Structure 1
Amino acid sequence: MTLGKSHASLLILFSLALASCQSEDKPPLPRYTSEYRGYAGTPESNRSAARYFIEFRSRYALTYGHSYVVFGQMGKGGRPVTQEVAGLAPASNDPAPYVLGHIVPVPAETGASDGDLEEQYRSASWRVMLTEAEYRKTVAFIRQLQAKSKVWQASVYNCNAFVAEIARSMGYKAPAIWLRPQQFITKLREMNGG
């Protein structure tokens, strides 16, 4: 009986992973960035000191895409002076761990991956401007999340789940993790008034 339940659970997880891959992405919006000011619930009056940002992003890939965050300090003219990337992906460029990760957890990395900062691959984004205190709090959470996120599994703990944890730590609502990354970031922005 236990063996049957474990097979059923595996089948359900595999079905969720496949279902998330069935829709199609919208055309690219490489320069589209929606700016939103503040942590959820922060009064607008505290926004004048916003010199930092976090940008929730998705990009195209050979598969169904990737979601991640870019964060740093803004310079004059609204251009990033510093930027760093955090996201969750299998810790290999070899496709085998990625394919295997649709069935079982595989080792993960939590930094930048190929294509994250290349504009032609960006499919959706949502920028949130932060004060220095908000930025420090957000970066501290990202560092803790990076330290504890050791595995990637497509239907249980994927790149969207990683990004959702960051958004929730800031007081935002997050959509289901089984959406394609472009849809996930677009829905994240829409759910939170951005």
Structure 2
Amino acid sequence: MKFLNVRLLIVILFALSAAGCQTSAESGPGAGDSVAAVQTTSATTSKNNAAAKTSKRETGRYFIEFRSRYALTYGHTYVVFGRVNSAGQMIDPEVAGLAPASTSAVPYVLGHYIPVPSETGWTDGDLEDRYRSASWRVMLSQTEYNKVVSYIRKLKASSPVWHAVLYNCNAFVGDIAKSMGYKVPNPLLRPQQYITKLREMNGGVGYTGPPG
């Protein structure tokens, strides 16, 4: 009887030992999952922090740049506006300028005599530095930028025609500059001269807002 009791005790201890091992084995993945969850959370947090830094960096600063570029004729005057990153590089810039609404030379020639239909957006070569002949960049606060962009949108919507003398690309850009409180030169200057003179007349300083 004593022998049986000892044997029974051994069986019970073995069963408990096995059960303990099984519990330990089953809790293993659970513990691993906990570590993995912490690692995943940490990785996600790091990723979110990196994304936040990138987003903050890409938010950048606001600017408007008065530009002129070379062309087969006199050249062209226009503005580029948007944001810049910490390196001063433009982020998704927009372009506004006044030009005959055609790639043909015919409307351009006619526009020296009568007003012709116009376009007020990007034209070929506007964002290529090799064609740039003069420029003046002004940094803006978000409030100042929003005000200028609002004016540009309205000006674009109300500029249906182009005329070499009566209302040309210089005059269009001049209206934008005047809305910001700047002095503007004679719109009959060549584009490179116009932008250079615009910068010189206003001291090449940052945006100061409308006078008074």
TM-score range, shorter chain: 0.7 to 0.9
Determine whether 1:99 maps to 2:109.
Answer: yes
TM-superposed deviation, 1:183 = 0.1
- The answer for unaligned runs of 5 or more in structure 1 is 1-49
Count of matched residue positions in the alignment of Structure 1 and Structure 2: 145
SS of match in other structure, 2:138: strand
Which of these two proteins has the greater Rg computed from alpha carbons? 2
TM-superposed deviation, 1:102 = 0.2
Match of 2:192 in 1: 182
Match of 1:191 in 2: 201
Determine whether 1:161 maps to 2:158.
Answer: no
Partners in 1 of 2:136 and 2:145 — Cα distance?
Answer: 16
Partners in 2 of 1:144 and 1:84 — Cα distance?
Answer: 15
**1:34-62 Cα shifts (integer Å, max 9, x gaps):** xxxxxxxxxxxxxxxx9100000000000
AA at the equivalent of 1:107: P
Determine whether 1:145 maps to 2:145.
Answer: no
AA at the equivalent of 1:53: F
TM-superposed deviation, 1:79 = 1.2
Deviating 4+ runs (over 3 angstroms): none
Percent identical across equivalent pairs?
69
Partners in 1 of 2:132 and 2:87 — Cα distance?
Answer: 21
What aligned pairs does 1:25-174 form with structure 2 within 5 A after superposition? 51-174=61-184
- Choose between structure 1 and 2 for higher RCO, CA contacts under 8 A separated by at least 6 residues: 1
Could you say which structure has the higher helix fraction? 2
SS of match in other structure, 1:53: strand
SS of match in other structure, 1:76: coil
Partners in 2 of 1:119 and 1:58 — Cα distance?
Answer: 10
TM-superposed deviation, 1:82 = 2.2
Partners in 2 of 1:145 and 1:110 — Cα distance?
Answer: 9
Partners in 2 of 1:107 and 1:81 — Cα distance?
Answer: 30
SS of match in other structure, 2:127: coil
TM-score, structure 2 length as denominator?
Answer: 0.68
Partners in 2 of 1:96 and 1:147 — Cα distance?
Answer: 24
TM-superposed deviation, 1:76 = 1.5
Match of 2:11 in 1: none
**1:116-165 Cα shifts (integer Å, max 9, x gaps):** 01111000000000000000000000000000000000001000000000
AA at the equivalent of 1:84: E
TM-score, structure 1 length as denominator?
Answer: 0.74
SS of match in other structure, 2:87: helix
